[in-house]
Structure 1
Amino acid sequence: MSHRPATSADLATICGFPQSAEELFFLFPKATFPLTPEQLQRAMDQRADATVVELRGQVVGYANFYQWAQGGRCAIGNVIIAPAARGQGVGRYLINRMVDLAISRYAAREVTVACFNHNVSALLLYAGMGFEPYAIEERVDHQGQRVALIQLRRALPVG
């Protein structure tokens, strides 16, 4: 696996990753299904460090920071893995690279992620990577159902 900054040429591929409106809600609640390159480009323009993971020359993962502060907190968002690459360690690799970026570029002291209660695979991944829940926010999904957005954080070494 390798990683690099995302480019506009990657957008169409990434837009094919969410397989349903529910999956898209998990990674990008403000977007409408199907995800379009225009929606993703707008998010990229407002965020930092859009990053893709490549496996055997194919883009298979994507994430960015929706908050970033020198010496403070970096919040990872829009995490998505290609359906065919799930269960192969791509998510773990991607989150580790985002943590590395938070440390090297921003000297961050903390990294956070937010995950909806129905996204069990991601919750278990984050917990297994040392992220701990610290807040729960009530949200409403596209069907009008109450859902819980679980905020998780991981402290980073200082120095």
Structure 2
Amino acid sequence: MKLNHRPVKANDVKMICGFPQNAQELFFMFPKAHFPLTETQLNAAISQRFDSTVVEINETVVGFANFYQAERNGVCCIGNVIVSPSTRGEGVATFIVETMTGLAFERYGVKEVQISCFNKNTAGLLLYPKLGFVHYAIEERPFLGNGRSALIHMTRSRSSTD
């Protein structure tokens, strides 16, 4: 399975909108959105963010992520990470996070890359430390409007990639 990445195109948006299978998955990807994810919601996020990127297998989009903060010589924050349900567990999330991390270090010359993960997102909590991210803070957030969740903030410094 050969993975590649490229900038998101307008005709990718509809497919990406189908990746979150329920309100909880959408919450993990994009807490401000309302299920089901619509093209309008995703296009608004893309327009406010940087380097929206897709992962493809055989020219089929299977992953998506972007930066919501990008400060030259400072910090890049990865957000909106989502993988197609049909390719979960096949390395797509690793590929997109490593791609975005590399892009942050190379394009923006940042000292660190940050990513956040909700406590109920077991897949993310298990993946990100394997990729060199370490916990630095926890923030309480509402969960789907009527509960509590913990947003776990993680960072990976440039030195961990040398």
* Amino acid paired to 1:67: Q
Deviation, 1:103, is: 1.1
* Amino acid paired to 1:86: R
**Which residue matches 1:88?**
90
* Amino acid paired to 1:32: H
> Which among 56, 61, 64 is matched to residue 63 of structure 2?
61
**Which residue matches 1:26?**
28
Alignment of 1:100-111 (within 5 A): 100-111=102-113
**Which residue matches 1:144?**
146
* Amino acid paired to 1:63: A
Count residues with an aligned counterpart. 159
Confirm or deny that 1:44 pairs with 2:23: no
State the Cα RMSD in Å.
Answer: 1.2
Deviation, 1:143, is: 4.2
Consecutive unaligned residues of structure 1, counting only runs of 5 or more, are none
* Amino acid paired to 2:54: V
* Amino acid paired to 1:72: G
In the aligned structure 2, how far is the partner of 1:63 from the partner of 1:143? 24
- The 4+ residue runs of structure 1 with deviation greater than 2 A are none
TM-score w.r.t. the length of structure 2 is 0.96
Confirm or deny that 1:3 pairs with 2:1: no
Consecutive unaligned residues of structure 2, counting only runs of 5 or more, are none
In the aligned structure 2, how far is the partner of 1:34 from the partner of 1:8? 19
**Which residue matches 2:78?**
76
TM-score w.r.t. the length of structure 1 is 0.97
Deviation, 1:87, is: 0.5
In the aligned structure 1, how far is the partner of 2:101 from the partner of 2:119? 22
Deviation, 1:104, is: 1.3
- Identity among equivalent positions (%) equals 51
SS at match of 1:25: helix
> Which among 107, 121, 124 is matched to residue 122 of structure 1?
124
CA-to-aligned-CA distance 1:82-114 (integer Å, 9 cap, x gap): 000101000001011101110111001100001
> Which among 98, 101, 106 is matched to residue 99 of structure 1?
101
In the aligned structure 2, how far is the partner of 1:82 from the partner of 1:4? 16
